[in-house]
Amino acid sequence: MEFISIKQAMEKGTGQVNIRGWCYRVRNSNKMAFIVLRDSTDIIQCVVEKSKVSEELWNEALKATMECSLEITGEIKKDDRAPTGYEISVSSLKIVGESDSFPITKDQSPEFLLDKRHLWLRSRKMTSILKVRSSVFQAIRKFFNDKGFYEEHSPMFSPTSCEGGSTLFEVKYFDDIMYLTQSWQLYAEAMISALEKIYTISPCFRAEKSKTSRHLSEFWMAETEVAWYNLDDILKNAEDLVAFIVKYVVEHNEEELKFLGQNIEKLKKIKTPFPRITYTKALEILKKDGIKVEWGKDLRTIEEDAIVKHYEKPVIITNYPKKIMAFYKPKDPENPKTALCFDMIAPEGYGEIIGGSERDTDIEEMKKALIAQGEKPEKYEWYFDTRRYGKVPHSGYGLGVERVIAWLCNLDNIKDTIPFPRTMIRRTP
Ligand code: 4AD
Ligand code: MG
């Protein structure tokens, strides 16, 4: 038997169809059984009329419970009273997998739904988010592939830190200790001398001790590294990527965005160029809002949120204080207290979605910065070789994929952007 999806069945609109899926809802009277069937594409109401079917079929229909899996054959027709505008009059029905009493009912707490995430994934909310997630990955790949970038990968086991030691996960590695990767960047900087323009989408690991709605301990980062690019070049690439992802998702996921309560017109306005300000200018904006930040202190979430309130698009903040930046971010020769770096902050309080910079090519400067951060420069000797043998100016950035999904899907918590989230306190299922 050939099966079609519920969506294809509704597109067909008339005649006999074979569909299969899971029981989304079921209601019986002594004459009729209404089974709403769900598959990955949609839901549809299926009706079994006792007077029109064999006793065997009627008895099978009565066995259907929420979330059992089923194969159904019947006549489809338009019906405005049905939940999705079509109804199937069932002529054959088979339960493929029975379902015990389903533990998820209405109005359950977010924690309960996280405990039952393996089942809650079937909800229309999670299904919609995961479809958007898939589109975001597709968009990132399309953006870079169309520009001739190579997709490459770095090891997940790393002997050193990239973004500072405080968020490293240690792993026992045979008789030694290694760390789970925080970023592909140091390896990417070696690869550009071969391939020039590269990108990756990869899991990253950070032992974030904060219980915020924006941090995961395992998340996915889309990173790029480009030879010969300066800060201006990489900024242009970063804003083009974000505008491209938004456009791609608006074009491919209108239905899902609507279901999630997102305002599509608002997303359509996310076009380049994005506003650009320096860190110093950001402090002036904050001061006018009555928020005092001492020059040299990093911007915290509340401060980022206060800045983006002034804009409708993502905001690019450049030239953070050199002293508080990762060791590879170079001094700006025109303003040596600051670094040639940037963060991109999403609208509406979704936080930092990109961090990037030019890369320092001065080995001695980097050694000093590493020592100041309590690292051992000897461990980075292989990395310094990239500067010893034909160094070139280069730049790159990393985009937090889940932060972007949270923003596009209008979610209050980053945990809902990934099928099985990992945070300091959430490690199951
Ligand atoms: O700003 P970050 O730390 O930059 C880097 O790691 C660079 N080495 C990237 C590069 O230049 N290749 O991280 C990049 C982005 C952040 O802007 C944020 O969106 C996301 O990764 N991110 C997280 N997302 C979810 N949970 C966390 N714990 C995150 N930490 C960073
Ligand atoms: Mg950052």
| Residue ranges in the chain modelled with pLDDT below 70 | none
**Separation between Cα atoms, residue 347 and residue 326, nearest integer Å:** 25
C-alpha dihedral over 216, 218, 220, 224, to 10 degrees? 100
Q: Is 117 in the pocket of ligand 1 (CB under 6 A)?
A: no
Of 65, 67, 84, whose CA–CA distance to 76 is shortest?
84
| Closest ligand 1 atom to 216 CA | 26
Of 286, 289, 408, 299, whose CA–CA distance to 343 is shortest?
299
Of 353, 228, 335, 362, whose CA–CA distance to 281 is shortest?
335
Q: How far is CA 342 from CA 36, 60, 100, in A?
A: 50, 62, 52
Write the single-letter amino acid at 150.
Answer: Y
**Separation between Cα atoms, residue 131 and residue 112, nearest integer Å:** 23
Question: At 167, which helix (H) or strand (E)?
Answer: none
| Closest ligand 1 atom to 414 CA | 25
Of 354, 391, 347, whose CA–CA distance to 236 is shortest?
354
**Separation between Cα atoms, residue 310 and residue 326, nearest integer Å:** 28
**Separation between Cα atoms, residue 327 and residue 384, nearest integer Å:** 12
236: Cβ–Cβ under 8 A, 6 or more apart, which residues? none
Q: Is 421 in the pocket of ligand 1 (CB under 6 A)?
A: no
Please give the structure tokens belonging to residue 267: 């997303």
Longest dimension (CA), the chain: 87
Of 117, 24, 206, 168, whose CA–CA distance to 417 is shortest?
117
- Which residue has the CA at smallest separation from atom 2 of ligand 1? 355
Predicted pLDDT of residue 16: 98
Predicted pLDDT of residue 210: 79
Q: Is 216 in the pocket of ligand 1 (CB under 6 A)?
A: yes
Are 206 and 365 in contact, with CB atoms under 8 Å apart?
A: no
* Alpha carbon 268 to its chain's center: 19
**Separation between Cα atoms, residue 88 and residue 79, nearest integer Å:** 9
Are 224 and 201 in contact, with CB atoms under 8 Å apart?
A: no
CA 261 to centroid of ligand 2, rounded, Å: 29
Q: Is 352 in the pocket of ligand 1 (CB under 6 A)?
A: yes
Predicted pLDDT of residue 345: 98
Predicted pLDDT of residue 323: 95
Q: Is 186 in the pocket of ligand 1 (CB under 6 A)?
A: no
**Separation between Cα atoms, residue 104 and residue 39, nearest integer Å:** 18
Q: Is 235 in the pocket of ligand 1 (CB under 6 A)?
A: no
Q: Is 316 in the pocket of ligand 1 (CB under 6 A)?
A: no
Are 356 and 316 in contact, with CB atoms under 8 Å apart?
A: no
Are 336 and 322 in contact, with CB atoms under 8 Å apart?
A: yes
- Which residue has the CA at smallest separation from atom 17 of ligand 1? 354
Phi, psi (rounded to 5 degrees) for 121 = -55, -25
Characterise 266 by phi-psi region: left (phi > 0), alpha (psi -120 to 50), beta (else): alpha
**Separation between Cα atoms, residue 284 and residue 287, nearest integer Å:** 5
- Which residue has the CA at smallest separation from atom 9 of ligand 1? 398
Predicted pLDDT of residue 165: 86
Q: Is 87 in the pocket of ligand 1 (CB under 6 A)?
A: no
CA 354 to centroid of ligand 2, rounded, Å: 7
Are 241 and 249 in contact, with CB atoms under 8 Å apart?
A: no
- Ligand 2 (ion): residues with CB under 5 Å are 355
